[in-house]
Amino acid sequence: VWLVARRPAVLKLAPLAVPGLLLGIAPWVAFNVRNGWLSLELGPGSGGQESTFAERLEHLFVDVLPTWLGVRVPFSLEWVAGPVLGSAVVVLALAAFVLALVRRPEGVEPLLVVIAAFPLLYALSAYTYYYAEPRYVVYVSPVIALLLGRAFAAPPAAAAAVALAVGLSTVGLVRMERDRLFQPDTAEGRPSGDLRPVIDLLEREGERYVLADYWIAYRLSFESAEHVIATSTGFVRYQPHDRLVRASDHPARVFGVASTVEPTLRQRLVAAGYRRHRAGNWLVYIHPH
């Protein structure tokens, strides 16, 4: 849109671009034809429905952007150097962007347009309801990096910027390691350990479909190369697999040995005919079909 607005003559070259466009989107179209146009869904199957466009936009500037800039710690959202200094850094960064947008230095206008449009595109997707770490800013990070590289091109400024970035990153990583923030913390405790015993047991029993906690389910599907299809009992990341599992009769259940959920379901599962197995650090319930 920007290019057409600035150089309408480029429309004459459109026929030359069409073959490349068709070739480039072919894998995307093929995937979506096979998966019910899944890429066009703007929100997760569960979780995030309650968040609004305005709330997601607010979290982008209050939580996500400060975390991306390194002044807040991912997951805990603790301010690295306090909220006053951290907020000042964010305000200065936004002010610098607005100033650049007004002045529009030669050669950077396309980058500025991308960044200006990003917040609206970001908040449009309900997937961005999750704001504890800046995963969705990764799409615009290269553009921001190019602008920062231009702003800090002089050697002294570049050295200062690198030192600041390394310092903030180090503090954030140390705090994440100290508090084990990168590990899942759910009703399953912190499920971890080798899933191979679970996969072997399920394959021996001829059980392909599994219901499990989010942090277990998607590991099972991945580590078994989808010989086992698992879906989450909570947030659902992939609807086709969720539909397969829930349409099956008596899918297996997998819990961590420290699970606080398993004891509450044990009597109900056994009464329904499930058999309880121990597989390494895991408890597996399998129904004899």
pLDDT digits (tens, 9 = 90+) for 16-66: 889 999 999 999 999 989 888 877 776 665 556 678 999 999 999 999 999
Q: In terms of pLDDT, which residue wins out, 236 or 266?
A: 266
Whole-angstrom distance, CA of residue 132 vs CA of residue 73: 9
Task: Supply the pTM of this predicted model.
Answer: 0.74
Alpha carbon 17 to chain centroid, angstroms: 32
The conformation of residue 235, written as its DSSP 8-state character, comes to: S
- Tokens coding 156: 């002294």
**Coil/strand/helix, residue 189:** strand
Percent of the chain with pLDDT over 70: 93
User: CB of 80 within 8 A of CB of 98?
Assistant: no
Distance between CA atoms of residues 40 and 120, nearest Å: 17
Mean pLDDT over 255-278 rounds to 93
Q: pLDDT by residue (tens digit) across 63-97?
A: 999 999 999 999 899 999 899 999 999 999 999 99
